[in-house]
């Protein structure tokens, strides 16, 4: 029987060698919609929109996320992260949309599956 021993140094080495998630403009499909989640920080909406545009997203395709309407597969979610004092925007791609009964502030987004892509610093 093989026993594994927790080795914090090994964990640290793996973490350091992991490639950082970087914004690659060629990853962005500017024809797709982007749903911006401000988590109540409407004061950061303009700077978040500017950061998204600077990283390849089309300004006319950026929409404030609403609980009663969701995006489509292939669209993007942009979340100010981490609430309540975000310092970056987490970019995710919608991979699946299931029909669900709306629930609380999450609403219909409860049925959306997504994949993390990269982050953008919020300046």
Q: Which of 63, 48, 56 is nearest to 25 (CA)?
A: 56
- Long-range contacts made by residues 39-42, C-beta under 8 angstroms, separation at least 24? 39/79, 39/80, 39/83, 39/84, 39/86, 40/83, 40/84, 41/80, 41/83, 41/84, 41/86
Answer yes or no: is 36 within a domain: yes
Give the structural domain span for 113: 29-121
Answer yes or no: is 82 within a domain: yes
Per-residue pLDDT of the chain (123 residues; tens, 9 = 90+): 555 555 545 444 444 444 444 445 557 899 999 999 999 999 999 999 999 999 999 999 999 999 999 999 999 999 999 999 999 999 999 999 999 999 888 999 999 999 999 999 997
Answer yes or no: is 66 within a domain: yes
Answer yes or no: is 10 within a domain: no
Answer yes or no: is 24 within a domain: no
Answer yes or no: is 94 within a domain: yes
Answer yes or no: is 19 within a domain: no
The answer to whether 34 and 65 have CB atoms below 8 angstroms apart is no
Count up the domains in the chain and report the number. 1
Answer yes or no: is 79 within a domain: yes
């Amino acid at each position: 029987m093989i026993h594994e021993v927790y080795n914090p140094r090994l964990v640290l080495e793996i973490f350091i060698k992991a490639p950082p998630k970087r914004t690659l403009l060629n990853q962005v499909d500017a024809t797709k919609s982007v749903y911006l989640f401000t988590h109540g920080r409407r004061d950061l909406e303009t700077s978040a929109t500017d950061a998204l545009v600077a990283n390849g997203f089309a300004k006319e395709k950026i929409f404030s996320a609403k609980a009663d309407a969701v995006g489509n597969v292939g669209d993007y979610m942009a979340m100010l992260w981490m609430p309540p004092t975000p310092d970056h925007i987490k970019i995710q791609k919608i991979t699946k949309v299931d029909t669900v009964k709306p629930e609380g502030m999450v609403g219909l987004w409860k049925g959306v599956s997504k994949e993390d892509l990269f982050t953008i610093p919020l300046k």
